[in-house]
Structure 1
Amino acid sequence: PAGPSQVLVWDTASGTELHVLEGHRNVVYAIAFNNPYGDKIATGSFDKTCKLWCAETGKCFHTYRGHTGEIVCLAFNPQSTLVATSSMDTTAKLWDVESGEEVATLTGHTAEVLSLCFNTVGSQLVTGSFDHTVAIWDVASGRRVHTLIGHMGEISNVQFNWDCSLIVTGSMDKTCKVWETVSGKCVATLTGHKEEVLDVCFDLSGQLIATASADGTARVFSTATHQCLATLEGHEGDISKICFSPQGTRVLTASSDKTARLWDAHSGVCLQVLEGHTDEIFSCVFNYEGDTIITGSKDNTCRIWY
């Protein structure tokens, strides 16, 4: 098994280990492919660096140095020309994929920046911070366009909808908020959870919002009416991650109860319990087609489910 500073690349069809990406000097906390291309991998570490790797060979292209705190989140822009990183040092940074140079430092948050998301054309980036605020940035200039103020607790996640007209945010204040991108105004507050909202996401069409909470439940809301359509009950621990299938018909949740669950997005019925991990599951994701699930656990394993 990989140590916390190693990254393994697997062939999901065969389960074969293809590469070991070694070089970080501390825990690797964030990782991303440059989808839809899939030929590069970015890793962010508690060693305060981000590394860019070739997915085919496992070779390290660049090490991005400049953050003064742990890197906790990262993403490629849709064109795969930039990597964005966010850090405990209160900043986010933009890095050039080709040259390996820093392009911009996004300053203004007053606490850790824990989440970020590019819009679908790559012109804007949204960041969420422990300072209770969310910022929308213009990527080309590195300037802040809006600060979204209203949450009363740390921001756990931020995401654009498919046409980038809306942003959804989850917070430790037990609510989610929906914001207009252009105006920066809050258009809805989604309530009902009894504990912190640990994750939030749109489905691909942008019509549904799913929320995951430390209260052990998840919820599906209508983006248009802001009504709760379904409550997903059954987990016996915090739900730290939630995502929709690409078709939007299923919801996947990962929990500290060592299980992941697959739900019907509209009825809220649990369709499957994915059992086998021996410790908390902190990550879950569908593949592009929606017929394969990957889960990551504190038991130091990833599992692939078909």
Structure 2
Amino acid sequence: MCEVKRRLVVVEEEFLGLQARVEEVREGNFALKREYDALLKRHHEMDETFRQEKVRGTELLEDMIQRKRLAAVNMNSKNEKRVRAREVTLQRELETAAKKKVNIDVGFVSGLSTKTTSQKGESAEKPEKCHGRLFRSASATSPRILDSIKELFEKKRRGNSVCSPEEDIYAPVGICLAARVPSKALHVLDAHELGINAVRFSSSSNLLATGGTDRVIKLWDVSAGMLHHRVSLDGSNEGITSIEFDPTGTRILAASYDKSALFWRVDDSAPKFTLTGHSRKVTAAKFKFSLRQVVTGSADRSVKIWDLHRAACIQTIEVLSYCSDVVCSEYFIISGHYDRKIRFWDSRAASCMQEVPLQGKVTSLDLCSDHRQLLSCSRDECLQVVDLRMSNSRRVFRADGFKCGCDSTKAIFSPDGNYLVAGSADGAVYIWNVNSGNLETCLPGMHRYGTFDTPVLSTPPSTRSPGRFLGSTLSVWIKAVVQCCGVISEEDVQAS
């Protein structure tokens, strides 16, 4: 009996142990079930999120395709309008030429006929000569027809050339005798939908070009200190980094973030051609002295020379550093770089003639109107002027409060070369006197943004007659809005 009781106690203990284990397993199962349910719920949520994002991605792709399609349709429409306009113009010219009467000198023809009869054998051997004379006589009073034929053969000879021989020569431009220091902004306007990266006046100061992140270059007529929109130049796939007018003011060259430079005529909104070949953004594009060539600098550490007649690169200069800006003279190219050096290149041999070291990254370069002085702006918060006749002679310009806000800050000479102008990170415009080396004035609060991405300050090389006191300054600040103004107009000067 005792043995049975002892075994019963043992069995009861085992039973209790098994019950405890069953409870533990049950609790473990409950915990796993709760975790499973949580994971399943999270899976459903993530699956739903994935589905929504997939739908959103499809909608964005369709929207992008639709926008591209609309942009293509818009561009095709513009091209068709331009083609139709050219056809109408050509038709009118042909009709005008057809209505023109051609007068032939009868006396000359009679004399020519008599001479031809007396020299029958010679004229039989050389009929082309007589026909040539008759043609010249007939067209002597119709220069338009002759010019049209000449233009046709000239166009065929040039092939894809974008420049006529007349455009390869500098047109005479006026000289600014003196510039006055501005004191106020004459005009403020919202010019672009997005940030503005570049501004430039034409040689006559009556036309202003602005370009920025919205991929568009806008041309503005400057009249009485006011800006009036003339036309928008399309064609760039990304933002504009630099703008340059040729000396005649009829052609525009622009650099772009899309690794190319573009060429327009001011009377045509579509680019005449696009220069491609750089592997990174093009930071600067400038006309060379002859106008038949242009120079581009890029973040891909190269400087390229392009032939406008062929719209092709004819020379590539490999550099060891990011090129931030370039300027061109008659026989050499000057480039500024992030390795704190300014390099002088012989454009005929593509060799570096000289290097000028600075204390900071070079953000911009500018040549004085007489091409005797070079201005550089760098990240060490100073401007330097190098005398190109004595390249080791340098003057440094600083000011309390002036800060070079970014790697593309611009500084320029005034039209007469007596002042330096630069924009600061605090939103002010600083003006130095080149002759004295002192800060002439600081124009605070000219712009609503003290910190900005790309400040651009540009001064037009104004065309002025003797006896007038002229100069104008345009400052543009960049971050979605242009605040700008040509600070001196002709009316302002005459009133003074």
Considering the TM-score relative to the shorter chain, is it more than 0.5?
yes
Q: Corresponding residue for 2:40? A: none
Please report the TM-score for the alignment, with normalisation by the length of structure 1: 0.79
Deviation at residue 112 of structure 1 after TM alignment: 0.1
Q: 2:369 aligns with which of 196, 200, 204?
A: 204
- CA deviation map 1:159-201 (0-9, x unaligned): 113xx222221111111112222322221111132x2111111
Q: 1 or 2 for the larger relative contact order (CA 8 Å, sep ≥6)?
A: 2
Structure 1: gaps spanning 5 or more residues: 1-11
1:108-257 equivalences under 5 Å are: 108-150=277-319, 152-161=320-329, 164-193=330-359, 195-236=360-401, 237-238=403-404, 240-257=409-426
Q: Assess, with a 3 A threshold, how the Cα gap between structure 1 residues 264 and 302 changes in structure 2: closer, same or farther.
A: same
- In terms of fraction of residues, the more strand-rich structure is 1
Q: Is the 8 A contact 2:216 2:240 kept in 1?
A: yes
Q: Work out which of the two has the higher radius of gyration on C-alpha atoms and give 1 or 2.
A: 2
Q: Which moved more, 1:222-231 or 1:262-271?
A: 262-271
Q: 2:215 aligns with which of 48, 54, 60?
A: 48
Deviation at residue 210 of structure 1 after TM alignment: 1.5
- CA deviation map 1:219-242 (0-9, x unaligned): 121213321421112244216222
Q: Assess, with a 3 A threshold, how the Cα gap between structure 1 residues 219 and 96 changes in structure 2: closer, same or farther.
A: closer
Q: Which moved more, 1:168-177 or 1:44-53?
A: 44-53
- In terms of fraction of residues, the more helix-rich structure is 2
Output the amino acid matched with 1:284: L
Deviation at residue 70 of structure 1 after TM alignment: 1.9
Q: Assess, with a 3 A threshold, how the Cα gap between structure 1 residues 78 and 21 changes in structure 2: closer, same or farther.
A: farther
Deviation at residue 37 of structure 1 after TM alignment: 6.3
Partner of 1:83, secondary structure, is strand
Partner of 2:278, secondary structure, is coil
Q: 1:68 aligns with which of 237, 248, 252?
A: 237
Structure 2: gaps spanning 5 or more residues: 1-181, 463-468
Please report the TM-score for the alignment, with normalisation by the length of structure 2: 0.51
Q: Which moved more, 1:127-136 or 1:226-235?
A: 226-235
Q: Is the 8 A contact 1:21 1:58 kept in 2?
A: no
- Give me the identity figure in percent: 21
Q: Corresponding residue for 1:283? A: 456
Q: Is the 8 A contact 2:210 2:218 kept in 1?
A: yes
- CA deviation map 1:138-157 (0-9, x unaligned): 2222122322223x332221
Partner of 2:272, secondary structure, is strand
Q: Is the 8 A contact 2:203 2:248 kept in 1?
A: no
Q: Give the Cα–Cα distance (whole angstroms) in 2 for the partners of residues 270 and 51 of structure 1.
A: 33
- CA deviation map 1:44-94 (0-9, x unaligned): 3423333455557945545423x3222222223223343222211111121
Q: Give the Cα–Cα distance (whole angstroms) in 1 for the partners of residues 322 and 418 of structure 2.
A: 30
1:301 is the counterpart of 2:483 = yes
Q: 1:85 aligns with which of 254, 261, 268?
A: 254
Output the amino acid matched with 1:83: I
Q: Which moved more, 1:201-210 or 1:93-102?
A: 93-102
Q: Assess, with a 3 A threshold, how the Cα gap between structure 1 residues 140 and 202 changes in structure 2: closer, same or farther.
A: same
Q: Give the Cα–Cα distance (whole angstroms) in 1 for the partners of residues 473 and 205 of structure 2.
A: 19
Q: Corresponding residue for 1:270? A: 439
Deviation at residue 30 of structure 1 after TM alignment: 3.0
Q: Corresponding residue for 1:260? A: 429
Q: Give the Cα–Cα distance (whole angstroms) in 2 for the partners of residues 255 and 72 of structure 1.
A: 19
Q: Give the Cα–Cα distance (whole angstroms) in 2 for the partners of residues 265 and 211 of structure 1.
A: 13
1:106 is the counterpart of 2:275 = yes
Q: Give the Cα–Cα distance (whole angstroms) in 2 for the partners of residues 219 and 53 of structure 1.
A: 32
Q: Corresponding residue for 2:200? A: 32
Deviation at residue 43 of structure 1 after TM alignment: 3.7
Q: Corresponding residue for 1:8? A: none
Q: Is the 8 A contact 2:233 2:268 kept in 1?
A: no
Q: Give the Cα–Cα distance (whole angstroms) in 2 for the partners of residues 113 and 214 of structure 1.
A: 20
Output the amino acid matched with 2:483: T
Deviation at residue 245 of structure 1 after TM alignment: 2.5
1:97 is the counterpart of 2:266 = yes
Structure 1 vs Structure 2 CA RMSD: 3.2
